[in-house]
Structure 1
Amino acid sequence: MKTPAFLQPLHAAWHKMPAAERRRAVIAAVLLSLGGYAAFHALVTTPRLVAARHNLGRVEQLAEKSRTAAPAPTAPRRSQKTPAQLARDLALLQDKLTSQRARLISLQQRFARLDQLEEHQTLRLGLTELANSADIEVVSLENKGLRREDQRLMPTLERLREMAAKNVFRRPLLRLTARASYRGLMDFLDGLARLPHVVSPVWIKVEVRTDATADEPATMQWLDLTLDLAL
């Protein structure tokens, strides 16, 4: 490749230099190149490093302020009441607790006992008679918590306890499915209070049905009723 005219004097001078001088010139050129690259790198990266260090310092200052600014724990407030007033308040709370305990015991005594099968049989018979007298057509009456094949087996104390253990109410549950009039549903619910033991509705679903068609208006209306009862 032919050397350009403006570089020919430099090229001639390069070849006239001793070998040692050439090596020193190459080393000097390499060092100058490295120095220039280092200067350029520092020019580009130094501002970023300075900014990063500045931001880190700000974060550290904020963290330190947060630690020092944390409120000291406050001492618990003392009651402004006198010991005599506190004693009266305690006596009132104890009276309420005693009253609630007595009410709970009274309610528990009204439930049919889980160790008395006869009481549950009497209660189920009373439910059936109440439904018949309240203009309710019973479709099904099932024990919740028992397998379908066990529904028609004679009740036992073991089955009563098994049913009670399978729901949050800890009582045997019956599911009543029926058709009823509005008056029949109200009579049935009112009559539950007259049964010999507590029967408590815990879930109910009511759907209004009619015999209306696309061409004929309704002439009759009734309720499809599903009711869970805790015994």
Structure 2
Amino acid sequence: MPGVTPAVRAADLSHTYADGRTALSGVTFSVEPGECVGLVGPNGAGKTTLFLRLCGVLPGEPGQASVHGLDPADASQRRKLPETVGVVFQNPDDQLFSPTVREDVAFGPLNLGATSAEACVRAAEALTAVGLADAAERVPFQLSGGEKRRAALAGVLAMRPAVLLLDEPSMFLDPRGRRELIGVVRNLPGTKLIATHDLELVLDTCSRVLVLDGGSLHADGPATALLADAALMDRHGLEVPYRLR
């Protein structure tokens, strides 16, 4: 969209690990503010590496990426990323560590400098948004798998990021947990980039798809059109979702 700064931008983004393995090679795309985009591809495609570059966890060359106008490779700009980009990783146990769900969700805002009162308000709002308002005083590790995912998501939402990166959000969820997650994701504000093998979830939540394989971007277009392309799906180790067959 002319005149609008992309919420997420990658420009010839590449990444090689210390062992010499190239995980990303010349990846270029942009995501407009408010878009929900699916990132799909086989195992080892580079999806998680891309997320780690976008949120500044992995170092990189300046100018190859930006999130909400911030360059993750620039140290001074990277410090501002926690206020701008939220990441929900594959394993929610990596993000849950406090005695209660409420304390876990309030941790992020407190770490950003919010007062205790403000952090409590943000935590309550985030838990309500993901349908866990009644679980605020529960012990995180006693939650079900689906509840843990929603609690981890609430912890990110409480920080009020403009951009949300979701890495395999439906992994290990039962059908009910998956349906609940889809409902939550649909109602979330802001820009969302979802890396997943769950192509049915992509159809339910995303208007656009990026196909990543071998560290390179092979397709970028409307979700329904790309996911219905049997030849494209087969080339990249994917299958056409059942409802599109």
TM-score band (shorter)?
A: under 0.3
- Give the TM-score normalised by structure 1: 0.23
Task: Identify, as 1 or 2, the structure richer in helix.
Answer: 1
- Give the TM-score normalised by structure 2: 0.22
Greater relative CO, 1 or 2 (CA 8 Å, sep 6+): 2
Task: Identify, as 1 or 2, the structure richer in strand.
Answer: 2
